[in-house]
Structure 1
Amino acid sequence: MSDRWILVTGNGAFGDTAERSELRYDVNPSALVAQRLDGRVVEGRRVVGRALDWDDSPLEALEPLLSGEDGTGGAGPPEAIVSCGVFSERTTLRLERVAVNVRDFQFADGDRRPIDEPVVEGGPAAYLSTLPIKAAVQAVRAAGVPAVVSNSASTHGCNSVMYCALHLVATRGLPTRAGFVHLPDPPEHVARLGRPTASMCLDDQVRGVEAVIGAVVLNPVDVRLPSNEWEW
């Protein structure tokens, strides 16, 4: 096994003040996925899984992970960052193509509800994922888990995480590739809502993200496929 490693992040709890009950997460499934993958070896790469707890900006939580702090034990920056978050009522893993420099929250998160604010003041308008998103979708599907390429990570916290990871990589001149995977609700969350909507069990989510990691290692360049089957 080489000393190269992959960072997988999940988000912490959020939405405690959201008016819609389906948007409140005391436990974020993406954090559980990151924790389950922590310590695994995928295609010869050690996986470090961390749950991000942040208040105003994900930069605060991501910076120490890229600099070898917080117990990552990396001999350098990660080969790739696969960030994850939950997207309520979706049916598949969504490999995000783009993160935009806009925070326009659909609901208040604690006492914060940014409206038309930049994720990073003075940053570029957007960053494209540098993960092989189409190869990753193929790998996730081959693992028996539904997945699509998505062209909008929204303008809430997940978009901010993706944007900040790519911004840190770009401004530091790191060779690290980075991108974002949105995950469906787990069945337990849907069961608490008491109404029928989409869900995916945690085991399938973990298997799907593990397939994404494998695709990242095996595909330094993404596959070229037409875009008409991906989610707009």
Structure 2
Amino acid sequence: MILLTGFEPFDGETENPSWAAARSAAGLLQSEGLDVRAVELPCVFGASAAVLEEALERLRPELVLCAGQAGGRARISLERVAINCDDARIPDNAGNRPVDEPVVRGGPAAYFSSLPVKAALAALTAERIPAEVSQSAGTYVCNHVFYALMHALRLRPGTRGGFVHVPYADTQLPAGSSAPSMPARQMAAALAVVVRAALATTTDLKFAAGATH
């Protein structure tokens, strides 16, 4: 069983491409005979983790891929590490704005994704989908969910999970905008590629995909 998640719109937006991509990717994978569910998460500290944890308990997936929007990025970002820090530059959808607070009090400083990020990068590149390995999922609700996911999965041996950021959808941007974007169909295809790569890979590939800054 595979669980995909995306977020509701936030910060005044009317859409969030991560949810559209997760929902569409679930349909693509279901058409291939896979058991896949998509769940929309609130863009709220605490509540997002609670909805995710309820879905984990109810669905008991073997693979979890969470997605969020990273406006300004031009590529699919395969997140490598989640950190135990909430530090909100803007309020969430409930008006919360934690600063320098732990996601899980007493939890470890960070968790690594248990998805094969390098194999996924190779698969995305082969499909000519712009992608990268990212070293930071930020400190907003996306990182909050990523950390909460990996913290929950420590008690679920055999279940793998991770997080992917997607760019703006091209339909979100006003005419003439220079912000990078990606068609919604390509984002959905990208999430499906990541899932297929994870299902096919037990030991990740090893090649340089790091960052100098």
Cα distance in 2 for residues equivalent to 1:186 and 1:92: 11
- Counterpart pick for 1:158 among 142, 146, 162: 142
Cα distance in 1 for residues equivalent to 2:114 and 2:43: 23
- Counterpart pick for 2:80 among 77, 94, 97: 97
Q: Is the 8 A contact 2:45 2:144 kept in 1?
A: no
2:70 corresponding residue in structure 1: 87
Is 1:61 aligned to 2:51, yes or no?
yes
Cα offset, 1:113, TM superposition? 1.1
Unaligned runs of 5+ in 1: 17-24, 69-73
Q: Is the 8 A contact 2:167 2:181 kept in 1?
A: yes
Cα offset, 1:211, TM superposition? 0.4
Cα distance in 1 for residues equivalent to 2:25 and 2:143: 22
Q: Is the 8 A contact 2:44 2:96 kept in 1?
A: no
- Counterpart pick for 2:14 among 26, 48, 53: 26
Please identify, of 78-87 and 48-57, the stretch whose mean Cα deviation from structure 2 is larger. 48-57
Letter matched to residue 30 of structure 2: V
Matches within 5 A, 1:38-57: 38-39=26-27, 40-41=29-30, 45-53=34-42, 55-57=44-46
Question: For this pair of structures, how many residues does the alignment match?
Answer: 210
Cα distance in 1 for residues equivalent to 2:174 and 2:85: 33
Letter matched to residue 53 of structure 1: P
Q: 2:174 is paired with a residue of what secondary structure?
A: helix
Cα offset, 1:177, TM superposition? 0.6
Q: 1:175 is paired with a residue of what secondary structure?
A: coil
2:6 corresponding residue in structure 1: 10
Q: 1:84 is paired with a residue of what secondary structure?
A: strand
1:122 corresponding residue in structure 2: 106
Cα offset, 1:78, TM superposition? 1.1
Cα offset, 1:191, TM superposition? 2.1
Is 1:209 aligned to 2:185, yes or no?
no
Cα distance in 2 for residues equivalent to 1:130 and 1:142: 22
Please identify, of 146-155 and 28-37, the stretch whose mean Cα deviation from structure 2 is larger. 28-37
Cα distance in 2 for residues equivalent to 1:112 and 1:150: 26
Please identify, of 51-60 and 177-186, the stretch whose mean Cα deviation from structure 2 is larger. 51-60
Cα distance in 2 for residues equivalent to 1:182 and 1:42: 24
State TM-score, norm by structure 1: 0.84
Is 1:195 aligned to 2:177, yes or no?
yes
Q: 2:96 is paired with a residue of what secondary structure?
A: coil
Cα offset, 1:165, TM superposition? 0.6
Letter matched to residue 196 of structure 1: S
Cα offset, 1:42, TM superposition? 7.6
Q: 1:45 is paired with a residue of what secondary structure?
A: coil
**Cα displacement string for residues 73-93 of structure 1 (whole angstroms, at most 9, x for unaligned residues):** x5xx21111100010111100
Please identify, of 121-130 and 101-110, the stretch whose mean Cα deviation from structure 2 is larger. 101-110
Q: Which has the bigger relative contact order, CA under 8 A and spacing at least 6?
A: 2
Alignment CA distance shift 1:47-1:231 (3 Å) = farther
Q: Is the 8 A contact 1:54 1:61 kept in 2?
A: no
1:220 corresponding residue in structure 2: 202
Q: Is the 8 A contact 1:86 1:185 kept in 2?
A: yes
1:137 corresponding residue in structure 2: 121
Cα distance in 2 for residues equivalent to 1:140 and 1:174: 27
Unaligned runs of 5+ in 2: none
